[in-house]
């Protein structure tokens, strides 16, 4: 469960948002919409515990149960997909790491390129790997910022499958049509 | 035990990144050898040991600064702090892993630099080598903390020297004077402070 009361965030003199209440029950899907620069990314960073709010009360899940994907896929470009996921599997102290990593690489169509450097990948393939990293510890909470960015039709379909799984989900997008039907709550930034 | 394996995994990752990119260590090597060569030709013959040691320490501090400037490039350009911070790893392990990687680069540069210094100037003694080893610990622990702080700033290339160089003054004083106890004390105090402070550096306020 994610809960916030009177949430505010400022960067210097610039107010990003203020007086925001957020409730995402377990298994809920909060769809955050709004134009570029409206505060969607900042809200997700605050809810992920990556940025401190300027004011307000926050009730967040433990950080290791949160899967966060920002604008970048958050993977090391000079490592291979296998090395990236092996590193994070170790840091998350996952049992049977090899199996879990292999299964995700297969699922997202990256098994055949598992030994190639991420820097040689297209943006869409990097996004797929970013999703693998997010799903690696089987997080109960997903916080995804424009997750469909750069994904082709096949990649987007794989992401659709992720969204129907039983998790608490907060998704920020400026193109809500794809996930509108799944949303249980909506938050629109002006 | 988890802490040690986390640190080892993070340090190994940095060493692997450098092995692939080959950006930091060659720059450090070239810089330190060039600096010592310039000092050799700039100084008059018969320069005192103390003056020569002072130049060695200047070269080492600036070589370390070069390595520290590059230390968080991947984390900065690929936003990797966000991914690392969300793992259950103690945040100080991220700092320690990075400090160990920077230490490895610095030691590798010194393996070339110290014999070069011995060849250009008056030779080396055991006390100087011990002082360099102790100074390396302080440079890497404090410098890694400041490197992480600078990553978050806008003028990061400017910020790191401004933060790091004043705190490196005691290292140079201890190094030139050969005060090993002073360097060990510096390592203990600043290492502990950096370890405790890193937690607050990696989350945006």
**Domain spans of chain B?**
2-201
Q: What angle do helix axes A81-91 and A97-107 make, rounded to 10 degrees?
A: 130
Residue B125 per-residue DSSP state: -
d(CA A150, CA A159): 12
Q: What per-residue confidence (pLDDT) applies to B167?
A: 95
Q: Write out the two tokens for A78.
A: 């000079």
Contact B87 A49 (CB under 8 A): no
pLDDT digits (tens, 9 = 90+) for A154-171: 999 999 999 888 899 999
Identity of the residue in B20, B82, B88 whose CB atom sits nearest the CB atom of A74: B82
User: How buried is residue A175: exposed, middle or buried, by Cβ count under 10 Å (0-12/13-18/19+)?
Assistant: exposed
Mutation choice for B interface testing from A50, A51, A116, A127 by most B CBs within 10 A? A50
Please, are residues B185 and B85 in contact by the beta-carbon 8 Å criterion? Answer: no
Name the residue with tokens 């600078």.
B150
- Pair A148, A134 in one domain: no
Nearest-Cα distance to chain B for A120, in Å, is 13
pLDDT digits (tens, 9 = 90+) for B167-176: 999 999 999 9
A79 in any annotated domain? yes
- Pair A54, A146 in one domain: yes
- Pair A101, A7 in one domain: no
Contact B204 A133 (CB under 8 A): no
- Pair A104, A146 in one domain: no
A124 in any annotated domain? yes
Q: What per-residue confidence (pLDDT) applies to A18?
A: 92
Q: Write out the two tokens for A15.
A: 């107010």
Q: What per-residue confidence (pLDDT) applies to B205?
A: 62
**A138, A163, A179 - which closes a domain:** A138
Average pLDDT, chain A: 93
Most confident of A32-36, A89-93, B201-205: A89-93
A148 in any annotated domain? yes
pLDDT digits (tens, 9 = 90+) for B49-95: 888 889 999 999 999 999 999 999 888 888 899 999 999 999 999 99
Q: Write out the two tokens for A119.
A: 């820097």
Radius of gyration of chain B (CA): 17
B4 touches A: beta carbon within 8 Å: no
Please, are residues A119 and A129 in contact by the beta-carbon 8 Å criterion? Answer: no
**A138, A153, A179 - which closes a domain:** A138
Mutation choice for B interface testing from A48, A54, A78, A83 by most B CBs within 10 A? A78
Phi, psi of A119 (to 5 degrees): -65, -20
List the one residue out of B107, B118, B132, B123 whose CA is nearest residue B57: B132
Q: Does the pLDDT of residue A25 top 90, yes or no?
A: yes
A78 touches B: beta carbon within 8 Å: yes
Look at residue A22 and give its three-state secondary structure.
Answer: strand
pLDDT digits (tens, 9 = 90+) for A74-86: 999 999 999 999 9
Q: Write out the two tokens for A135.
A: 């799903």
- Pair A163, A118 in one domain: no
H-helix or E-strand spanning residue A166: none
Instruction: Using an 8 Å CB-CB cutoff, list chain A residues near B89.
Output: 91
H-helix or E-strand spanning residue A172: strand A168-173
d(CA A8, CA A55): 5
Domain count of the fold of chain A: 2
Q: Cα B31 to chain center, whole Å?
A: 14
B96 touches A: beta carbon within 8 Å: no
Q: Which has more pLDDT, A76 or B122? A: A76
End-to-end CA distance of chain A: 25
Mean pLDDT within A40-63: 93
- Pair A55, A110 in one domain: no
A67 in any annotated domain? no
A68 in any annotated domain? no
A69 in any annotated domain? no
A149 in any annotated domain? yes
- Pair A80, A122 in one domain: yes
Q: Write out the two tokens for B76.
A: 């900065």
Computed from CA positions of residues A32, A33, A39, A44, in that sequence, does the dihedral angle turn out positive or negative? positive
Q: Write out the two tokens for B146.
A: 């400041």
CATH number at residue A150: 3.40.50.300
Mean pLDDT within A15-41: 92
Nearest-Cα distance to chain B for A134, in Å, is 9
**A123, A138, A153 - which closes a domain:** A138
Q: Write out the two tokens for A50.
A: 């990556």
Mutation choice for A interface testing from B86, B153, B203 by most A CBs within 10 A? B86
What is the interface size between A and B, counted as CB pairs within 8 Å?
A: 80
d(CA B145, CA A119): 27
pLDDT digits (tens, 9 = 90+) for A91-149: 999 998 999 999 999 999 999 999 999 999 999 999 999 999 999 999 999 999 999 98
- Pair A130, A79 in one domain: yes
- Strand order in A55-59's β-sheet? A14-24, A2-11, A55-59
Identity of the residue in B79, B88, B203 whose CB atom sits nearest the CB atom of A52: B203
d(CA B27, CA B29): 5
Contact B205 A51 (CB under 8 A): yes
Phi, psi of A11 (to 5 degrees): -115, 105
Average pLDDT, chain B: 91
Q: What per-residue confidence (pLDDT) applies to A40?
A: 93
- Pair A57, A100 in one domain: no
Strands A141-145 and A168-173: parallel
Please, are residues A80 and A114 in contact by the beta-carbon 8 Å criterion? Answer: yes
Q: A145: which strand partners?
A: A172
Q: Write out the two tokens for B142.
A: 């404090």
Give the pTM.
0.90
Show the domain range for A42. Answer: 1-61+140-190
End-to-end CA distance of chain B: 31
Q: Write out the two tokens for B163.
A: 């933060």
A81 in any annotated domain? yes
Q: A173: which strand partners?
A: A33
- Pair A14, A50 in one domain: yes
- Pair A123, A146 in one domain: no
H-helix or E-strand spanning residue B46: none
List the one residue out of B181, B169, B39 whose CA is nearest residue B113: B39
Please, are residues A151 and A127 in contact by the beta-carbon 8 Å criterion? Answer: yes
* Least confident span in A131-140, B12-21, B156-165: B156-165
Q: What per-residue confidence (pLDDT) applies to B47?
A: 77
Identity of the residue in A50, A52, A88 whose CB atom sits nearest the CB atom of B82: A50
């Amino acid at each position: 469960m994610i809960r916030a009361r009177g949430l505010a965030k400022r960067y210097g003199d610039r107010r990003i948002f203020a007086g925001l209440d957020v409730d995402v029950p377990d298994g809920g899907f909060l769809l955050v919409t709004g134009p570029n620069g409206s505060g969607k990314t900042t809200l997700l960073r605050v809810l992920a515990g990556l940025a401190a709010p300027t004011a307000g009360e926050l009730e967040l899940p433990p950080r290791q149960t949160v899967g966060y994907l920002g604008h970048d896929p958050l993977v090391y470009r000079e490592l291979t997909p296998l090395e990236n996921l092996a590193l994070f599997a170790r840091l998350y102290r996952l049992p049977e790491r090899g199996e879990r990593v292999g299964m995700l690489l297969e699922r997202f169509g990256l098994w055949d390129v598992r030994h190639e450097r991420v820097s040689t990948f297209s943006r869409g393939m990097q996004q797929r790997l970013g999703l693998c990293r997010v799903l690696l510890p089987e997080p109960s909470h997903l916080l995804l910022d424009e997750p469909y960015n750069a994904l082709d039709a096949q990649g987007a379909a794989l992401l659709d499958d992720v969204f129907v799984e039983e998790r608490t989900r907060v998704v920020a997008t400026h193109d809500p049509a794809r996930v509108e039907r799944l949303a249980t709550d909506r938050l629109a930034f002006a | 035990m988890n802490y040690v394996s986390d640190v080892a995994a993070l340090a190994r990752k940095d060493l692997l990144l450098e092995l692939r990119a080959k950006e930091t260590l060659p720059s450090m090597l070239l810089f330190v050898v060039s600096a010592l060569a310039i000092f050799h030709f700039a100084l008059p013959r018969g320069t005192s040991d103390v003056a020569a040691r002072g130049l060695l320490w200047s070269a080492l501090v600036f070589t370390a600064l070069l390595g520290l400037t590059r230390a968080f490039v991947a984390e900065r350009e690929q936003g990797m702090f966000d991914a690392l911070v969300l793992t259950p790893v103690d945040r100080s392990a991220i700092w320690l892993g990075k400090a160990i990687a920077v230490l490895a680069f610095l030691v590798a540069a010194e393996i070339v630099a110290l014999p070069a210094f011995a060849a250009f100037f008056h030779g080396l003694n055991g006390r100087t080598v011990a002082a360099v080893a102790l100074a390396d610990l302080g440079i890497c622990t404090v410098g890694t903390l400041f490197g992480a702080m600078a990553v978050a700033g806008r003028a990061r290339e400017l910020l790191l020297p401004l933060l790091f160089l004043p705190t490196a003054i005691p290292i140079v004083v201890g190094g030139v004077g050969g005060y090993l106890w002073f360097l060990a004390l510096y390592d203990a105090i600043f290492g502990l402070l950096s370890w405790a402070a890193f937690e607050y550096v990696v989350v945006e306020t």
